[in-house]
Amino acid sequence: MEAKPGPLPASAQRVQDALAALGLASRVVELAVAARTSQQAADALGIAAGQIAKSLVFRAANTGRAVLVIAAGDRRVDESKVAAHLGEPIERASPEFVRAASGFAIGGVAPVAHAAPMTTFFDTSLRRFDVVWAAGGTPHCVFPIAPADLLRASGATETAID
């Protein structure tokens, strides 16, 4: 992994501050290459795609509320399963909706430090790993975290999503 030296971008610093406030020792690092997809992030870190904890924002179809799914990078989210847990259908969110709800652009959505609270689901398959890596607020920033700590920090409901 090749990290860029220097201060973090403002949105990544917001994630770092949130992690510190939660009492977590995880450190956000800025990669020298973009990690907009799970595979790009895994390649940059030299790990398996499943170790990437991707944060996907959906829009609840009836209420319009934001729904966050934290999923393993090698898993597809079964939207009907998420909808069943939520109690209403979900739909893909526009980039504008994602930014308004999370405070982050697609490709850099962190699982913490959101602009507003979101109903959050955590993929049980992330527990296969001792450490996973999540987006740190920009497409270039990531941080390592134990799945149990990520579950606690995100306030998510743990469920199978695929």
pLDDT, position 2: 58
Q: What are the average pLDDT values for consecutive 10-residue runs of the chain, which has 162 residues?
A: 75 97 95 87 94 97 98 96 97 97 95 96 98 95 97 96 87
Residues sharing a CB contact under 8 Å with residue 64, sequence separation 6 or more, in sequence order: none
Tell me, what's the pLDDT at 35?
84
pLDDT of residue 36: 82
Which has the closest alpha carbon to 22: 162, 151, 161, 160? 151
DSSP lists the bridge partners of residue 150 as: none
Q: What domains does the chain contain, in order, with CATH numbers?
A: 10-159 (3.90.960.10)
Angstrom distance (rounded) from CA 121 to CA 160: 9
pLDDT confidence of residue 84:
96
